[in-house]
Structure 1
């Protein structure tokens, strides 16, 4: 699924929402390149779009976890990784290729998955 990133209109970070309801953070780096990631920090759900960007790193405003916007690697701990998405130009406008939404699991499927991970 491609998501139109819209016009930056002078912004360096903003959030876009896909048709399926998923939210993504968009960052314009100092060199003018664009990076897209999940909007929520994988550590505790903090709003990454409110984080501080330095180089290709974004720092979550809640607990200061740092993530590489190229690879998604967490520079604070190996326990977390941020999902990042490729940015493509379509008809002269930037879009993110965010793939398909994960399937919705029933409660029994969620419980079985949780039990397997425990």
Structure 2
């Protein structure tokens, strides 16, 4: 379990936090709580913290308008894309995202095979 404090809002409703290992996550203040997702759109890596919130549950990517459910990560625009979502927990009075462990580093051969399969 890797916990990332959800600090740095500075009065904003959307911002980015980073884990100690360098991963980035978008934080959305919604309905008095927080939703945490990957920081970039899985379609073409658009910055989701610059997107638009719709209906209090959907973020729209600013680059190509792909729409993602903040609770499930499902893409309403193209179902083959899915946004990573992360639970929020409170530890010692501080809201944190449980972002899990970083993915294992792939070898060049594994990267090439994944690319050939259309996964990266």
Q: TM-score, normalised by structure 1?
A: 0.92
CA RMSD of aligned residues (A): 1.3
For residues 1-118 of structure 1, what are the structure 2 equivalents within 5 Å?
Answer: 1-29=2-30, 31-54=31-54, 55-115=56-116, 117=117
Aligned partners of 2:8 and 2:15 also within 8 Å: no
**Could you list the runs of 4 or more consecutive aligned residues of structure 1 that deviate by over 4 angstroms after TM superposition?**
none
Partner secondary structure for residue 16 of structure 2:
strand
Give, in angstroms, the shift of residue 105 of structure 1. 1.1
Q: Distance in 1 between matches of 2:114 and 2:83?
A: 21
Matches of 2:68 and 2:113, distance apart in 1: 30
Partner Cα distance (1:36, 1:113) in 2 = 26
Paired with 2:100 and 2:111, the residues of 1 have a C-alpha distance of 22
CA distance in 1, matches of 2:76, 2:114: 28
Residue-pair matches, total:
116
Specify every segment of 5 or more residues in structure 2 that has no aligned partner in the other structure, as ranges.
Answer: none
Aligned partners of 1:113, 1:63: CA distance in 2, in Å?
Answer: 24
Structure 1: any 5+ residue segments left out of the alignment? none
Q: 2: distance between equivalents of 1:73 and 1:112?
A: 25
Please list the CA deviations of residues 54-89 of structure 1 after superposition, one character each: whole Å capped at 9, or x if unmatched.
Answer: 211000000000000000010111111101000001
Contact 2:14 2:26 in 1 (8 A): yes
Report the Cα distance in structure 2 between the residues aligned to 1:77 and 1:109, rounded to whole angstroms: 26
